[in-house]
Amino acid sequence: MMTAIRKHFAAAAAAAALLLGLSGCGPDYATEETRLVNYRLDRVEEGRGRGAILMIPIHGVISSDDGGAPAAIAMLRQLRTRGEPSGIKAIILHVDSPGGGVTASDTLANEVRLCRDKGYKVVAFFSDTAASGAYYASAGADRIVARPTGIVGSIGVIMMHFDAQKLLTERLGVRDESVVSGPFKGAPTVFRPMTPEERAYLQNIVDSLHARFVKTVVDGRRMKEADVRKVADGRVFTAEQALAAGLIDAIGQREEAIAEARKLAGADCPVFFYRREPGLLERLIDGQVRAGSGPVPDEARTLLKLALDARPLYLWRP
């Protein structure tokens, strides 16, 4: 009997490992040690010069374990630590994101800085939205180009929290019976409104992370702190407003961003882009989803998870 059970579990484990390998998911999506799975390098722009430009997408909500941020971090890290792909002279960050987690945004920004320290030139191209953590991650680029219709900025921090006391306690009869070691251990909680002391405690954390955001922009954009503070109240700006405020360097389309990268690279380099190809299991699941009503979109799930964690976020939430 025990032998049969062991065989059953061994078969289940092998099947799970096979499915993870086919889907391109699993442990490869941990922020610090992400490996590029199911990605192919494509040439998207021809060039006659020596060397190449690598375009890296920063798309969707920036999270440590979901969306495109772990892959973007892996691309930057692979380039600076292993020199892969070889011959790269400049990087284009293709940004379309409302921001997201503080740590994931900071990790991205740090990888950009380390790549510049290794001698790679960096151009950030803001396609549609480059807000909050997405702007934070891009602020250290050599040049920033935004589309004329782009939305830029939202320099600020938000810690989302919900007071569900009436729903949970009064309507459902659910009460918080947590045992804590100190008055701030369980704060904040959805079971009651915050006390003034708890709000001040969390505000101090938000203010500290906001100061880090401001310093990142000051250092990256080489601006005066007073000038950054004027636009660091969470607002977003049009491309023209961002240009006037010094948050970007130019307004243009993708072609202008590539031209800037080629200028920094010193050659008419071809442009390469990592294109993700879904694994077999993903394609099968996607076919089933499209045939039916469909679950909650991935980005909505990521946002919901970030919101329920009550963590500080570099996120624009219109």
For residue 216, what are the CA distances in angstroms to 38, 149, 201, 211?
A: 33, 25, 23, 9
Catalytic residue (choose from 64, 132, 138, 154): 132
Residue with tokens 């390469």: 272
Q: What is the token pair recorded at 220?
A: 């990256």
Q: In angstroms, rounded to a whole number, what is the distance separating the alpha carbons of residues 127 and 112?
A: 18
Rounded to 5 degrees, what angle do the CA atoms 251, 257, 260 make?
Answer: 105
Q: In angstroms, rounded to a whole number, what is the distance separating the alpha carbons of residues 189 and 214?
A: 29
User: Would you call 132 a catalytic residue per the annotation?
Assistant: yes
Asked if residue 96 lies in contact with residue 127, where contact means CB atoms within 8 angstroms, the answer is yes
User: Would you call 185 a catalytic residue per the annotation?
Assistant: yes
Catalytic residue (choose from 166, 178, 181, 185): 185
The catalytic site residues sit at: 132, 185
